[in-house]
Amino acid sequence: MRVFVFYSNTVRTDGNFKDLYKSGRVDIIINSILHAFFISNGLRKNVIFDMSLNGPPMPPLRVKIESNPETSWSKKDISTLLSLSIKKFLKKGNTNPFPGICVEKENFRSIIESYLSLGRNIYVLDKSGEFIEEVSINNPVFVIGDFIGIPKKELKWLKNNSKFVSLGDLPYFSSQVIVILNWILDKMNYYTGFYSTEDKFAELKRRLNI
């Protein structure tokens, strides 16, 4: 599985996402999910996007999305899916509100430890890290921060069990980081399968005579 762990300092933990910017920069999460899973006319298989949400009013919260063709979503309604998933968990205790979605009351360190227990190697994206093209990537879990970054206390803890890697000197958006990481994994031929969604556009193509 391709695994991305995303640390958010600000995204609200009550699912109230009426304004994506004012709800703790939910827009960053949405763009990151979009680039983790979706390709042109396809949805990547074998991808996990694991979120550690630490915004108000009741942090922390873990929301994990795994590739699943039964997930009722598209590129346009990711925020709705996240909002409903969190609200179903908070109101009804539903830890699996939709296919491929898991919501739990779990903190960041517990998430990382769960992957370590599976024998996964943790790679933390950090500007002080070693250039990624000079690092041997093996059975990876990539840890990415939001626009604020991973808190210093968590970075200090991660140094004991992780490898810090960098994409270079340019400060990329979180979603851009995921695009680059997916490209690197594609070059490695690491879980490159995908579900085709081309049939969704078949009728449009027929009407346009394409």
Helices vs. strands in the chain: H and E counts, helices first: 6, 10
Tokens 């979009």 belong to residue: 34
Tokens 């851009």 belong to residue: 176
> Tens of pLDDT along the chain (210 residues)?
999 999 999 999 999 988 877 788 999 999 999 999 999 888 999 999 999 999 999 999 999 999 998 887 876 789 999 999 999 999 999 999 999 999 999 999 999 999 999 999 999 999 999 999 999 999 999 999 999 999 999 999 999 999 999 999 999 999 999 999 999 999 999 999 998 877 665 554 455 455
- DSSP, res 160: T
* Distance, CA of 62 to CA of 96 (rounded, Å): 12
* Distance, CA of 176 to CA of 183 (rounded, Å): 11
The verdict on domain 2-207 having CATH code 3.40.1280.10 is yes
E-strand stretches of 37-161: 38-39, 42-44, 47-53, 61-66, 101-104, 121-131, 140-145
3-state secondary structure of 18: coil
pTM above 0.75, yes or no: yes
Residue-level pLDDT at 204: 43
Which two structure tokens, joined as six digits, stand for 53? 């949400």
* Cβ contacts of 10 within 8 Å, gap of 6 or more: 24, 25, 54, 55, 146, 148
Residue-level pLDDT at 76: 77
* Distance, CA of 134 to CA of 77 (rounded, Å): 38
* Distance, CA of 11 to CA of 28 (rounded, Å): 9
E-strand stretches of the chain: 2-8, 38-39, 42-44, 47-53, 61-66, 101-104, 121-131, 140-145, 162-166, 194-196
Residue-level pLDDT at 18: 84
